[in-house]
């Protein structure tokens, strides 16, 4: 990557896979994340931290130099990827959210658990892309053993929510003004009752959302400035749609492959509009 001053101003270019890309020729960017990576394994830990810091500052220049349509802009992605922010905005735009405490204070969690006879689930604020059993922390019901170890959240804050009864779940993928909703029959197998990611990708049908839920979803997208988002909802036995989260860079091909929803085509449309 190179930034250079010229008589016409400052220019930027990237050389990759034998190609040179001038950012002045780019109209849109599909961005699932920005991270400095690929350093030689033999460099020491201190040198690696320095190289990562320098490279990340180099990369962040793209946010200003690339005057393009970002899907999604990294600053907006970062803001929208915060679980506390998601809960706040979801509530603001009228979506149903579970009773929730996000904290690193064990006493807050104990009060929350003691305030209801309903079960409480624990979630992490971040999630690895690797969902293999043994390598990822899935949503789990708080047991007596977990409550006994609550002091651990003093250094690793967590999300604690009331367990919401489920009829089934939804993955709702939004691309611009288009909304693609898929049903996940998570209650048909004991392994997926609490977290369907334990046996992922088991979508079984296209789902029709009501206009008011779609409107609230689009309002949340607008609040965060997102063009793309992958939403997770619970649908309760009495038909309530309960918001869980939105992933600004969530996977979608598993839905398209199973149900034939034209999500890639919608992305291509949005990406090509600026060109």
In a domain, 124, yes or no: yes
Alpha carbon 31 to its chain's center: 13
- Whether residues 271 and 171 fall in one domain: yes
- Whether residues 136 and 183 fall in one domain: no
Look over the chain and give the mean of its residue pLDDT values, rounded to a whole number.
Answer: 91
- Whether residues 154 and 115 fall in one domain: yes
pLDDT in tens, 107-117: 999 999 999 89
- Band (136; pLDDT cuts 50, 70, 90): low
CATH number for position 186: 3.30.470.20
pLDDT in tens, 8-64: 888 999 999 999 999 999 999 999 888 888 899 999 999 999 999 999 999 999 888
Strand pairing category for 9-16 and 2-6: antiparallel
- Whether residues 173 and 198 fall in one domain: yes
Answer yes or no: are the C-beta atoms of 188 and 195 closer than 8 Å.
no
- Whether residues 183 and 264 fall in one domain: yes
Range of the domain at 242: 75-81+165-275
- Whether residues 208 and 151 fall in one domain: no
Identify the sign of the CA torsion 193, 194, 195, 199: negative
Phi, psi of 271 (to 5 degrees): -65, -35
Closest CA to 225 of 63, 72, 23: 72
**pLDDT confidence of residue 129:** 53
CA distance 163 to 117: 11
- Whether residues 124 and 31 fall in one domain: no
- Whether residues 178 and 258 fall in one domain: yes
- Whether residues 170 and 264 fall in one domain: yes
**How many domains are there within the chain?**
3
User: What mean pLDDT do residues 120-132 have?
Assistant: 76
Choose the final residue of a domain: 144, 163, 182.
163
Residue with tokens 């959210």: 97
- Whether residues 178 and 266 fall in one domain: yes
Structure tokens at 263: 């999500």
Structure tokens at 218: 């689009």
**pLDDT confidence of residue 128:** 60
């Amino acid at each position: 990557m190179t930034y250079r001053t010229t008589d016409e101003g400052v220019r930027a270019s990237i050389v990759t896979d034998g190609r040179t890309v001038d950012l002045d020729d780019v109209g849109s960017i599909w961005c699932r994340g920005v991270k400095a990576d690929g350093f030689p394994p033999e460099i020491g830990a201190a040198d690696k931290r320095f190289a990562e810091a320098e490279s990340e500052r180099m990369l962040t220049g793209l946010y200003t130099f690339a005057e393009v349509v970002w899907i999604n802009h990294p600053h907006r992605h970062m803001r929208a990827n915060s679980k506390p922010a998601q809960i706040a905005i979801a509530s603001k735009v009228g979506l149903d959210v579970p009773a929730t405490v996000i904290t690193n204070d064990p006493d807050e969690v104990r009060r929350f658990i003691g305030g209801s006879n309903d079960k409480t689930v624990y979630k992490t604020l971040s999630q690895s892309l690797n969902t293999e059993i043994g390598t990822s922390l899935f949503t789990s019901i708080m047991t007596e053993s977990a409550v006994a170890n609550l002091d651990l959240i003093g250094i690793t804050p967590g999300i604690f929510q009331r367990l919401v009864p489920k009829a089934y779940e939804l993955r709702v993928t939004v691309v611009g003004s288009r909304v693609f909703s898929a049903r996940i029959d998570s209650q048909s197998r004991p392994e997926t009752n609490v977290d369907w990611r334990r046996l992922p990708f088991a979508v079984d049908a296209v789902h029709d959302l009501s206009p008011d839920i779609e409107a609230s979803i689009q309002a949340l997208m607008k609040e965060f400035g997102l063009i793309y988002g992958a939403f997770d909802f619970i649908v309760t036995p009495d038909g309530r749609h309960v918001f869980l989260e939105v992933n600004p860079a969530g996977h979608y091909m598993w839905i398209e492959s199973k149900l034939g929803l034209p999500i890639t085509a919608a992305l291509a449309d949005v990406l090509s509009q600026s060109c």
